[in-house]
Amino acid sequence: MTCHCLIVPQDVLKRFASDPELSEEIRKIFDFTSDVSDDVRDVREARRKLTHTVENFLSLTPRALVSAPCTPPPSEVYDCQHGSLPGVRVANPTTSADATVKRAVDEATAVAKFYCDIFKRDSIDDRNLTLISSVHYLTNFNNAFWNGSQMAYGDGDGQIFVDFTLGNDVIGHELTHGVTQYSAAFVYSNEAGGLNESVSDVFGSMFRQWQAGQDVNSADWLIGHDIMGPVAKARGYTCLRDMANPAATHCLAPQPTNFSQYHAGMDPHYSSGIPNLAFYKACKAAGGQSWDAVGQIWYKALTGFGTSPNMLMSGFANRTRTLATNVGNATIKNAVDNAWTAVGL
Amino acid sequence: MGNLIIQEVGGFATGGTPGAHFRKEGRLALSDLSAEDRERVSAMFANPKPVNANFYYKITLEGPSGQQTIEVLPEAVPATLIASVKTTLD
């Protein structure tokens, strides 16, 4: 879990370490703590880099040689009690009287089951990694995020947004950031950042459709529909993003629909509209359920080639085209090819 | 003394993208901060580091000599700055 020593700022530790009014023994303790804090921050970045290296290596090894059977991963929930991470661990979250806690653990477990049943993936790292969720993060926090190790969910302000655990696509989206971290490792900038965000919307939406038993025609393809607060709804907003119509006026955050609109440095949450639309179009053309064929292609494109931190959208598109060709079904091949062509890739 | 603009970036519901109907921003005067928080802010701007994260804060310091913007992970941002961020709808 997140290191508690980060709570005291480094400059404060160093000030106490050189305070002549403190005993030498106390000053040494602060000096040691300062060094440890530096090391902990470095460990976090080193962990990201190590994940990158390990994933590159392991991707060379057939999963059958290294895998254990796919079993439900442990799932822990922490209550931030309107403070920061990590919070206080909740005993028995599956039977908690706090609905937010119960949703966090139930839906995280469901996402893991989705990945196991549909993609044969054993938790977000494909090695049964414990899922960690912190709820009641800060006060009226209008967001949810993955911090490299865990998910964090805000309660919303009750006006524009409501409790973020109310959206099963939110939970699927955030956990998929973990999947991406442990597979392609797209960075959070430029085209790779847009792919990172898109993949999370894609698998978050697929998870939502899977839970509801929907096919590509009955799905609403809306991202964040269930976390819209009364004030947002009253103004006609039905979602954060719309994979079927990224530029729609009912979106709180409209997005571009064609790669011709892309420019370097574009916010990944904005540029993700382009690959989102491609996935939607491919699914609609293929028919059935989104995870039948197109979802499998997207999963393989994300996880089957080792790390690709700075992948371009064109590279990802061509990767899915090749995978679609290998399926040996003209409908699927054309669905994927035409979808990317339609968004300018 | 200078002013701070604090923007929340990333996560599931990032605001402020082109055409977005909501924004997440806070504004504080440096003079409103405690001495300890001013020290922390000063240290952040003296040693900015690139961020590659799903969620972070973009903090802009407006001063007599111009503007400087840095990206900072949440655990490094003083609680006062985070608490100043408000979500507004068009």
When mean pLDDT is compared across A38-42, A83-87, A110-114, A303-307, the lowest value belongs to A38-42
| Interface predicted TM-score of the whole assembly (ipTM), two decimals | 0.96
Report chain A residues whose CB lies below 8 A from the CB of B39: 9, 11-12
A265 and A329 share one domain:
yes
A35 pLDDT higher than 80? no
Residue of B nearest to A178 (CA): B54
A249 and A166 share one domain:
no
Residue A65 in domain = no
A243 and A329 share one domain:
yes
Residue A110 in domain = yes
The tens digit of pLDDT for each residue in A235-258 reads 999 999 999 999 999 999 999 999
A50 in contact with chain B, both atoms CB, cutoff 8 A? no
* Active site (catalytic) residues of A: 174, 269
Q: Do B14 and A143 touch (CB under 8 A)?
A: yes
A277 in contact with chain B, both atoms CB, cutoff 8 A? no
Tell me the mean pLDDT in the region A152-179.
98
Residue of B nearest to A265 (CA): B17
- What secondary structure, in 3-state letters, does chain B show? CCEEEEEEEECCCCCCCCCCCEEEEEEEEHHHCCHHHHHHHHHHHHCCCCCCCCEEEEEEEEECCEEEEEEECHHHCCHHHHHHCEEEEC
For testing the chain A interface, which of B34, B44, B54 should be mutated: the one with the most A CBs within 10 Å?
B54
A54 pLDDT higher than 80? no
Residue A64 in domain = no
A304 and A199 share one domain:
yes
In chain A, the percentage of residues whose pLDDT exceeds 90 is: 79
In chain B, the percentage of residues whose pLDDT exceeds 90 is: 92
Which segments within A99-231 are labelled E, that is strand? 131-135, 144-146, 151-153, 222-223
Structure tokens at A319: 């990767």
A204 pLDDT higher than 60? yes
Reported confidence tier of residue A22, pLDDT bands at 50, 70, 90 = confident
Task: Look over chain A and give the mean of its residue pLDDT values, rounded to a whole number.
Answer: 90
A305: containing domain: 190-342
Q: What share of chain A is helix, strand, coil (3-state, %, to 5)?
A: 55, 10, 40
What is the structure's pLDDT at A53?
Answer: 53
A29 pLDDT higher than 80? no
Measure A147 CA to nearest chain B CA, in Å.
7
Q: Do A269 and B19 touch (CB under 8 A)?
A: no
Residue A63 in domain = no
Q: Taking the CB of residue A82, how many other CB atoms lie within 10 A of it?
A: 14
What is the structure's pLDDT at A344?
Answer: 98
Tell me the mean pLDDT in the region A128-134.
98
Per-residue pLDDT of chain B (90 residues; tens, 9 = 90+): 799 999 999 999 999 999 999 999 999 999 999 999 999 999 999 999 989 999 999 999 999 889 999 999 999 999 999 999 999 998
In chain A, the percentage of residues whose pLDDT exceeds 70 is: 83
Tell me the mean pLDDT in the region A199-214.
98
Nearest one of B42, B21, B53 to A12, comparing CA atoms = B42
A190: left (phi over 0), alpha (psi -120 to 50) or beta: left
A211 and A99 share one domain:
no
Of A58, A81, A100, which closes a domain? A58
A16 pLDDT higher than 80? no
Report chain A residues whose CB lies below 8 A from the CB of B19: 253-254
For testing the chain B interface, which of A142, A159, A171, A263 should be mutated: the one with the most B CBs within 10 Å?
A142
A68 pLDDT higher than 60? no
Q: Which residues contact A156 (CB under 8 A, 6 or more apart)?
A: A140, A141, A142, A162, A163, A164, A227, A229
Domain locations along chain B: 3-89
A75 and A177 share one domain:
yes
Q: Which residues contact A99 (CB under 8 A, 6 or more apart)?
A: none
A137 and A275 share one domain:
no
The tens digit of pLDDT for each residue in A260-301 reads 999 999 999 999 999 999 999 999 999 999 999 999 999 999
Q: Which residues contact A116 (CB under 8 A, 6 or more apart)?
A: A70, A72, A122
A275 and A134 share one domain:
no
A310 pLDDT higher than 80? yes
Residue A286 parent element (H or E): helix A273-286
A328: left (phi over 0), alpha (psi -120 to 50) or beta: left
CB-nearest to A143 from B8, B16, B89 is B8
Number of domains observed in the structure of chain A: 3
Of A138, A161, A181, which closes a domain? A181
Residue A100 in domain = yes
CB-nearest to A9 from B11, B40, B54 is B40
A78 pLDDT higher than 90? yes
